[in-house]
Amino acid sequence: MTKYIFVTGGVTSSLGKGIISASLAKLLQARGYRVTIQKFDPYINIDPGTLNPYEHGECYVTEDGAETDLDLGHYERFLNTPTSQANNVTTGRIYQHVIERERAGDYLGKTVQVVPHITDEIKRRMRLLGETGEYDIVITELGGTVGDIESLPFIEAVRQLRWELGNNDSLVIHLTLVPYLAAAGELKTKPTQHSVKMLLEYGIQPDILVCRTEHRIGHDIRKKIALFCNVNINAVIESADASSIYDVPLLMLKEQLDKTVLAKLKLSNKNEPDLENWKAFLGRVKNPTAEVKIGLVGKYVELPDAYKSINESFIHAGAQNECKVTVRSIAAESVNNDNVEEKLKGLDGVLVAPGFGERGLEGKIAAIKYVRENNIPFFGICLGMQVAVIEFARNVLGLKDANSYEMDKKTKHPVINLMEDQKNIKNMGGTMRLGAYPCELKKGTKASAIYGKQRISERHRHRYEFNNDYLKQYEKAGMIASGINPDNNLVEIIELKDHPFFVGGQFHPELKSTVANPHPLFVNFVAASLIKAGKR
């Protein structure tokens, strides 16, 4: 029978439930267990697809085209296994389903209420992955903080589900904060006590407490927390600040979180976790032999989580190249033709980030023109690729008012156009080209050499495409369409013939980069930047 682990958070948000969940899953996976993680978010949006990145960080897209929470990116990067629509559920999706059933008459005239109808639907979705027979353990992370009004139905559903599952088939891990008061010179356990007390009021006794802290938690503090929170002292786990999120699985191993979990679930811990490849990766991250400076030009650079997967992909690619990748964020709006040289000074490569809307467009064009003309390695993702197409049209093909139809509906030269199947869409949510699509690579191109094969699959999230009416002009002038979707002939990858590294992808390669499998485009972009820096 599948075992269930629920991870809740208390005291404050942003304590790292996603990293703790992914780290525990990594340890259990390394012991030979089949593990998956799912995230339940309490907001009323159906999914984060229509949220501004400043609201909720990046929107992570799965293979099957679900727009999901960025924590699913951590799950995939740690476990090296794909997630799906079933791995991320929001309050909005729960209520939408229940209301649709009510409209269809499925409740036979009953009064539809939070209990039992909403909680039943939450429980059904919590068990979906476990019922496939593919997993030994399902870890469910509950978004938000215990005590939030919107989180209550999820907490109640966990209480009911634990009762239904019976002993030894589920447990609750509660992540709390043990703050250090500098004036008093001591750690304080009271916030943790109050958080657990609130959980108890809702009918849930946590089995394990993971305590986030800036300072080491001594035996006396653990003993006090255990006493006041009704847990064993060995179930009080220290989670001290780490220099890298990739350190956390090893820190949790040292704290024996995985052993404590297996003991409570009555599962064998005979197999010691095989983490040799993970430790080798960490060794390369912490002992680089060189450094490269990459500029990330984007709209949302003030919030690191807006480009979370890109930043993590650079860590993976840096480890593969045994170098440190220092990413310098550059606000696209701040760049123009007069200051572009100063803005990009000292960089070994430039990545132009994905996004939507006109803001920062001219700055991105100025940056791409500069790196194209000065042979600086360039990598464009989604809108970044489209802006490279616009820049080339204006400055090489002589199409001065060339633009994307997204930015200028009246442009004479829409070198980036709205996809045919997008033209009659009115609803914005979940209607883009989403998820994995195939791509055929042309032989003899840089893209073909990078991937080492002719057919690939990459994840998409866009409405606009390269306008094939202009393709011959581009290829004649030296910009090659090196990747084509075989089903609809859409251009997926562009590259320049006579340039050290100038590649743009209509897809999002950062979504498929993991610790075990760094993405080849990022690996080769970093390698090209190392050559530019004179370090290879």
Of the candidates 117, 316, 508, 519, the residue annotated as catalytic is 508
Choose among 281, 217, 222: nearest CA to 249.
Answer: 281
- H/E element holding 67? strand 67-68
- How far is C-alpha 8 from the chain's CA centre? 20
Q: Is residue 183 part of a domain?
A: yes
Pair (353, 233) in one structural domain:
no
Instruction: Say how far apart CA 316 and CA 335 lie, in whole Å.
Output: 28
Q: Which residues contact 203 (CB under 8 A, 6 or more apart)?
A: 156, 159
Residue 106 has pLDDT above 80, yes or no: yes
* 282 located within any domain: no
Evaluate whether 59 touches 67 at the Cβ level (below 8 Å).
yes
pLDDT at 52 over 90: no
CATH number of the CATH domain containing 438: 3.40.50.880
Residue 267: band (very low, low, confident or very high) from pLDDT cuts 50, 70, 90: very high
Identify the domain boundary among 236, 258, 277. Answer: 277
Residues contributing to the annotated binding site: 13-19, 54, 71, 141, 148-150, 188-193, 224, 242, 355, 383-386, 406, 463
**Considering the domain boundaries, does residue 185 fall inside one?**
yes
Mean of per-residue pLDDT scores for the chain: 91
If one counts the domains in the chain, the total is 2
Question: Over 80: is that where the pLDDT of 521 sits?
Answer: yes
- DSSP class of residue 498 equals T
CATH code for the domain of 203: 3.40.50.300
**Are residues 399 and 263 located together in one domain of the fold?**
no
Query: Is the residue at 36 inside a domain?
Result: yes
Q: How far apart are CA 240 and CA 355, in angstroms?
A: 34
Is residue 134 very low, low, confident or very high in pLDDT (cuts 50, 70, 90)?
Answer: very high
Same domain, 41 and 187: yes
Instruction: Yes or no: say if 354 and 384 are a contact pair by the CB < 8 Å rule.
Output: yes
- The fraction of the chain above a pLDDT of 90, given in percent, is 75
Looking at the fold, whether 263 and 228 belong to one and the same domain comes out as yes
d(CA 190, CA 480) in angstroms, rounded, equals 62
Residue in this structure with the two tokens 């992914």, named with its chain if needed:
22
Q: Which residues are annotated as a binding site for L-glutamine?
A: 54, 355, 383-386, 406, 463
**Residue 368 clears pLDDT 70, i.e. is over it:** yes
Q: Which two tokens stand for residue 424?
A: 């009659």
- Domain residues for the domain of 63 are 1-277
pLDDT given at position 431 = 54
Question: Can you give the pLDDT at residue 421?
Answer: 55
211 among known catalytic residues: no
Q: Is residue 159 part of a domain?
A: yes
Q: Are 356 and 331 within one domain?
A: yes
Q: One-letter amino acid identity for 433?
A: R
Residue 536 located in a structural domain: no
390 contacts: CB under 8 Å, gap ≥ 6: 361, 365, 402, 403, 404, 415, 416
* Residue 368 belongs to some domain of the structure: yes
**In the structure, what pLDDT confidence band is assigned to residue 436 with cuts at 50, 70 and 90?**
very high
pLDDT at 427 over 60: no
Q: Tens of pLDDT along 299-316?
A: 888 887 889 999 999 999
Do 270 and 321 lie in a common domain?
no
**pLDDT over 90 at 462, yes or no:** no
Q: CB within 8 A of 423, min separation 6: which ones?
A: none
- Residues 236 and 296 placed together within one structural domain of the fold: no
42 lies in the same domain as 112: yes
Mean pLDDT value across residues 116-136? 95
Residues 148 and 253 in one domain: yes
On whether both 369 and 428 belong to a single domain, the answer is yes
Q: Which two tokens stand for residue 432?
A: 């883009």
Catalytic residue among 58, 121, 312, 510: 510
Same domain, yes or no, for 264 and 395?
no
Mark whether 17 and 160 lie in a shared domain: yes
Judged against a pLDDT cut of 80, whether residue 454 lies above it is answered with: yes
508 is catalytic: yes
**pLDDT confidence of residue 56:** 66
pLDDT of residue 463: 83
Q: Would you place residue 345 in the very low, low, confident or very high pLDDT band (cuts 50, 70, 90)?
A: very high
Lowest-pLDDT choice from 219-223, 224-228, 360-364, 504-508: 360-364
Count of CA atoms in the C-beta half-sphere (13 A) of 303: 11
Instruction: Kindly report, residue by residue over 27-43, the tens digit of the pLDDT.
Output: 999 999 999 999 999 98
Which tokens hold the place of 474?
């581009």
CB contact set of 410 (below 8 Å; sequence gap of 6+): none
Top-confidence residue, 360 or 384: 384
The answer as to whether 206 is a domain residue is yes
The CA-based dihedral angle spanning residues 24, 27, 31, 37, taken in that order and rounded to the nearest 10 degrees: 40
Q: What is the 3-state secondary structure (H, E, C) of 331-394?
A: EHHHCCCCCHHHHCCCCCEEEECCCCCCCCHHHHHHHHHHHHHCCCCEEEECHHHHHHHHHHHH
Domain boundary among 277, 311, 341: 277
* Whether residue 116 has a cis bond before it, omega within 30° of 0: yes
Give me the catalytic one of 211, 229, 323, 382: 382
Q: Domain end: 277, 305, 337, which one?
A: 277
Other CB atoms within a 10 A radius of the CB of residue 271 amount to: 10
In sign, the C-alpha dihedral spanning 421, 423, 427, 431 is positive
CA neighbours closer than 13 Å in the CB half-sphere of residue 244: 18
